[in-house]
Structure 1
Amino acid sequence: MGFRKGSERLDKALAAQTSLSRRDVHRLLSRGLILVNGVPASGFDTRIDLERDDVIVEGRRVQLKKYSYLMLNKPKGVVSATGDAALPTVLDLVPEELRRSGLFPAGRLDKDTEGFVLITNDGEFAHRILSPRSHVPKVYTVELDKPFSPKTIECFAKGLVIKADKHDNMEGTSECSCLPAQLGPVEDNWQTGRVVIRQGMYHQVKRMFAACGLKVMALKRIQIGGLALDPALEIGKCREITEPERLLLAQDQPAS
């Protein structure tokens, strides 16, 4: 008999998504303490459907998922990478109970930028969120060295042309164009702005303001798509994103 489409080995899934090791799982399996759909799992190579099968370990129901979606409130000084020899990474901030194999940050925030980082192991979903073709907005608050003006708002809305950077992977050109972006003051403070972009170029927000003669002093991402950073999520903390929230991530219009 062939394996069911989308199935995964029970021992592998439990070891990846719980605190149990493969050895622990095998010990519990041999004692009949792991039930799948109410029946003791038959062996080490038992395969399950992560989206449909009911798994109980030592009397406790375990929610196994194929993909994980996490919201991190990133602090300054942490890099958006899966590993770094010198600095802490966003994955280092994921608590043990939420760690899964294959997690990565979907998009990058600069080391000195705070706020919403999506962490997932769903590569296809991450690509859809990050692709400019999807028009998924990313919303930031920014503090500047001096006030911006209505002219700055107009330049953002038209689409700025900024100096090319080696990280843009655009050899042979000294400039690159930004998609139209939204800019407005926060509570009538023209030195603090709310920016909405639909791209993710290297240091893009900073480079856009630099093209207007302004320097970014502090930057924080507060929203991806229609999902805002949880105001109750403390800096440096991480939590799971619910299914309704995940759907909001893909919205092409930011919440007001």
Structure 2
Amino acid sequence: MNGARPEKLLKAIANLGYGSRKEVATMFRAGLFTDASGEVLYADDRHPLADVRIEGEPLDPPPGLTLMLHKPVGYTCSTRDPGRVVYDLLPPRFRRRQPALSPVGRLDRDTSGLLLMTDDGALLHRVISPKAKLPKVYEACLAQPLRGDEAASFASGTLLLESETTPLLPATLETLSPTLARLTLTEGRYHQVRRMFAAVGNHVEGLHRDRIGRLDLGDLPAGQWRVLTDAERQSLG
């Protein structure tokens, strides 16, 4: 908390999503919260959250939480969609955190791969800002074989998407097979990868994002998540 005096535990823990203040107060009365040595804590205590345990387990990270999620196909980056949403893949309390845990940019329902989520508004805006030019790497499975001229078109800095008047920034295309391509972008327009291939007469049948900046999914299974380290957060700019 940057040297400031910790706020009362009742408010701090409720803001982490463990329950309403009334619910958390009940948990305190039941003796569920202790410090690392096992001493019972009380709702009006002021105590470092890193030293607090709930039924012996550490609390979730305090505000400043950033995680990576391996988003499967079929989930949306929304809180109001009637179908499956990415929050369904996280502990329910993450959805109730204050400040809110939000996707950093979006992947559509039919796109899988690396999705960052954070409650750090400054970091969120740094990552999605066009000025950051943070590279994002996608693999696209295509309906038709590549012709061979797509890489030059994408790299030209002159390609226009339908209904837009500003050309795309140069992007790098690597051919992995006749119908599989790796595309590296430094901007994030609406459905950009799908629209880029549509502009050169092709159709994306499957899309996966595997890298943002220097972060990649590694061996994280689909549907799983993990908290970023401080070094990984700093690598995002």
* Same fold, TM-score > 0.5, yes or no: yes
SS at structure 2 position matched to 1:175: coil
- In the superposition, the TM-score normalised over structure 1's length comes to 0.76
Q: Does 1:222 align with 2:200?
A: no
Residue 184 of structure 2 aligns to a residue whose secondary structure is: strand
The aligned runs of 1:1-256 (5 Å cut-off) are 5=4, 7-17=6-16, 19=18, 22-23=21-22, 25-27=24-26, 29=28, 34=33, 41=41, 44-48=43-47, 50=49, 54-57=51-54, 60-62=57-59, 64-84=61-81, 86-96=82-92, 99=95, 101=97, 102-165=100-163, 174-186=164-176, 189-233=177-221, 235-248=222-235, 250=236
The gaps in structure 2 that reach 5 residues or longer are none
Partner Cα separation in structure 1 for residue 5 and residue 205 of structure 2: 47
SS at structure 2 position matched to 1:210: helix
Kindly state the Cα deviation for residue 93 of structure 1 after the two structures are TM-superposed.
1.8
Greater strand proportion: 1
Please, what TM-score do these two structures have when normalized by structure 2? Answer: 0.82
Q: Secondary structure at the match of 1:146?
A: coil
CA contact (8 A) 1:82 1:104 kept: no
Q: What letter matches 1:237 in structure 2?
A: Q
> Deviations along 1:158-177, whole A, 9 cap, x unmatched?
22432355xxxxxxxx4231
- Structure-1 separation of matches of 2:220 and 2:196: 30
Structure 1: distance between partners of 2:182 and 2:126: 24
Q: 1: distance between equivalents of 2:102 and 2:154?
A: 31
Question: 2 CA distance for matches of 1:26 and 1:162?
Answer: 57
The aligned amino acid for 2:204 is V
Cα separation, 2, equivalents of 1:156 and 1:57: 52
Paired residue type of 2:203: K
| 8 Å contact from structure 1 (residues 17, 99) kept in 2 | no
Q: Deviations over 1:190-243 (max 9, x none)?
A: 32100010111101011111111221111111111101113232x223332233
Code of the aligned partner of 1:114: S
Change in CA separation of 1:191 and 1:131 when aligned onto 2, cut-off 3 Å = same
SS state of the match for residue 177, structure 1? Answer: coil
Question: What's the offset of the Cα at 1:47?
Answer: 4.0
Distance 2:108 2:195 in 1: 13
Query: How far, CA to CA, are the matches of 2:228 and 2:79 in structure 1?
Result: 20
Unpaired stretches in structure 1, ≥5 consecutive residues? 166-173, 252-256
- Structure 1 residues 60, 228: closer, same or farther in 2, change over 3 A? closer
Distance 1:17 1:148 in 2: 48
Secondary structure of the structure 2 residue equivalent to 1:195: strand
Over the residues paired in the alignment, what is the CA RMSD in angstroms? Answer: 2.9
